[in-house]
A and B are shown apart, each in its own frame.
Chain A
Amino acid sequence: MFESKAGILYIAGIGFFALAFVSNAVVPALMYSSLPEQTVPELVNSNLRYQFEDLARRYPDSFNAVYGEPPGGEPEHDAWWNEKCAEALAYGHKIYVGEGCWHCHSQFVRPVSNEEQRWGPVARSWEYQNELNRPVMFGTRRVGPDLSREGGRRSNDWHAVHFFRPRDLSESSPMPEYPWFFDGSPDRPNAKGLAIITYVQWLGSWQESYPYYEDYVPSMQRPDDSDDADGEAAADDDDGAEEDE
């Protein structure tokens, strides 16, 4: 058996591979099969809408050139924004994958190495149960920061300048420049620029604590009271649920 062609083909070749596939892939797939997979339009939330409309206000010429003018009439108006926002989100994801952003920016926060302090709440399975994680964007390397809690941390114009020339904002950054997201200058993002900023602002926008700043203290509170202000973030540190998964 151990040296026969049949043994090698059927046991080692197919058998062991199937065993590994069932135990390492089918098992988690079945475990999470109850979590519904969200489509891109379902992923548009009010935090993201806020950022998307902010893009329209900051860069009206660029925005209108790509998406046109919003129609009048309240219901049509709302549906139009959602539709364009979903369109930008999907396109932004495509650019994020195509440019290989995810090879230098991970998208998961681990429960170790003080990562909760640096990035925010630990990653949970349901966060990845959507169309934009086909295939999942966990990433394996952090040349730059993790981005899964990036949405809302920084303004749209910060991102525009940063994509155009990262070192203008972050002196030591090894990130490449992306001038092809713009028509010549950072205040004129093109379709790609608007889309990639929308995608980055989406990351983490589903969190209750969005935007999740490092050492976030509500502006009306003195720094001494910061311990009380952590209550909201602490609610997300639900270790019990982590083990249930």
Chain B
Amino acid sequence: MSEAIQSGAADDSADIPSHRELVDETLVKLYFLTALAFLTVSMLAGLLMALQLIRHNPLQGLELFSPGRWRMVHTNAVAYGFLANGFIGALHWIVPRLTLHPVFSRKLSWFIYAAWQAVVLATAGGIVLGEAQGLEWGETPVWVDPVAQLGLLLLAINFMPPIARMKGPVYVTLWYFMAMFVWTFLTYAMGNFVPQYFVTGTSAGAVGGLFIHDLVGLFVTPLGWGMMYYFVPILLKKPIWSHGLSLVGFWGLAFFYPLQGIHHFLYTPIPMFLQYGAVVSTIAVELVVTTVIINFFGTIWGSTSAVKTNLPIRWFYTGMIYYFLTCLQCSFQVTLTFQKVIHFTDWVVGHAHLVMFGVFTMWIMGMMTYLFPRLLNRPWYSQTACEWHYWLSSLGILFMAGDLTLLGLFQGWSWAALEPWDVSVELSVPFWALRVVAGLAMFAGLLVFMWNLWKTWSSVPEQQSSPAAVPAAA
């Protein structure tokens, strides 16, 4: 049954519910548009901070545009405004089509949408007014935390029933999604409440490290890979290369990923044996990641020309290469030897951008490039604009990550050599200037994409065929 749906040909045979019964397309569209709006805000906030670093902030001295506050808007808008909305939109497409059951309640879906936007806007408003919480990636004001927690619970309540009602073997995508519903709820609760109300100091640092890490590893990563396991076989029209490797990838991630949080705080007063444990499990997860990458490259083997002709596949596989690079980089930077030099430097900032933009944003962009023609029932207005979006994004992030990684080494060596602090700032300025250029390229890519979307929506005539019949290779 799921094979039929996956092949993209939704024939209306009696036992398969129609696409329209399963997917609330309006909601998916709305999630995607909201995600793009928050990404725009986030990138503008990042630009403000980048201009501050090169001492050309045009909004200097205005309290409501304080770069320190907008830096937090930048990260929170990406995590909760862009990635969360993009992924939840994808869940509304993927889960019902894969399980052949609609979500628990459409009304609840709309309520969650509204509640989640209220959470994101309250977070942004709270941060801009100086009410942030002192938790990295969790600066959501303390009075927003319980509401966000409730939202995550409702999300699980809405999506678990179709998975529970499904009979037969569970596909890889749903392993990742099921675990994610549990992990995200637990991670958010742990990170936002434990170091605020239950423990302090060094122990709070250990929990904070777990939170930063799990938010990426147990919320964003399983959603991202779940999406890849769903879309790649559909687009390439062939199954995943090795089911065994899929199992290794999922269980390896599930076991090793949560054990690594403390690697964000190496050489702090957190006990050394816990730091060693985090380092070892981080290197272990790199091996697991390698199996996942091998599995996906085994899948595309024989159809590699798809990266030239099929733009979503190109987005996905570029993201995977960046994912591998990020994890490879991580297995070096997590060692105590590298930490001496690169901790506290822009190396880490480059790493964070490579994973958040180079991997997960690229995957969501690939997914939107694939799904918008289906949601709008018409082809893209301009394929050239789609290409520009891809090249500006993929080269921009590569340039930014490379620039910041290199700068991190120079900063670290300058500090270790006990040069005056100003020397390390002065040497950073040219690199920070190049980072602005790279960031502007990435932002230009987004603008091209949104322009293309608007033109597609407004001037391409709608086609008569059903959405699922649009050719998979967009």
Contacts and interface: CB of A to CB of B under 8 A. Distances in A.
Interface of A: 2-5, 8-9, 11-14, 16-17, 19-21, 23-25, 27-29, 31-32, 35, 37, 95, 97-104, 106, 108, 110-115, 117-118, 123-125, 127-131, 133-145, 167, 170-174, 176-180, 242-243, 245
Contacts of B175: 3, 8, 12
Nearest to B132: A98
Contact of B61 (A28, A133, A138, A179): A179
B200 interface: yes
Nearest to A175: B52
Given A12-B254, A142-B345, A17 B218 contact: yes
Contacts, number: 239
B196 interface: yes
Chain B interface, >50% SS class: helix
A27 B264 CA distance: 17
Nearest to B273: A27
A14 B66 CA distance: 40
Interface of B: 52-55, 57, 60-61, 63, 66-69, 71-72, 130-136, 139, 163-164, 169-170, 175, 178-179, 181-183, 186-187, 190, 194-210, 212, 218, 247, 250-251, 254-255, 258-259, 261-262, 264-265, 267-272, 274, 277-278, 339-341, 343-345, 348-349, 412, 415-418, 421-422, 425-426, 429, 432
Contact of B271 (A5, A31, A127): A31
Contacts of A123: 268-269
Contacts of A20: 210, 258-259, 261
Contacts of A170: 422
B217 to A, nearest CB: 10
B247 A136 contact: no
Contact of B195 (A31, A124, A136, A143): A136
A134 B471 CA distance: 54
Contacts of B202: 28, 32, 125, 128-129, 136
Given A100-B132, A123-B269, A176-B68, A25 B206 contact: yes
A3 B178 CA distance: 11
A115 B341 CA distance: 11
B201 A125 contact: yes
B255 A16 contact: yes
Nearest to A173: B425
Given A110-B343, A125-B269, A99 B66 contact: yes
Given A8-B178, A28-B274, A130-B200, A21 B66 contact: no
Nearest to B130: A98
B136 A174 contact: no
A174 B68 contact: no
B172 to A, nearest CB: 9
A133 B201 contact: yes
A243 B275 CA distance: 13
Contacts of A245: 269, 271
Contacts of B197: 134
Contacts of A21: 186, 190, 210, 258
Contact of B67 (A13, A137, A138, A176): A176
A9 B178 contact: yes
Contacts of B274: 23-24, 27-28
A132 to B, nearest CB: 9
A237 B299 CA distance: 56
Contacts of B344: 106, 139-142
B179 A12 contact: yes
B278 A29 contact: no
A38 to B, nearest CB: 9
Nearest to B412: A113
Contact of A37 (B178, B182, B200): B200
B130 A17 contact: no
B277 A5 contact: no
Nearest to A10: B182
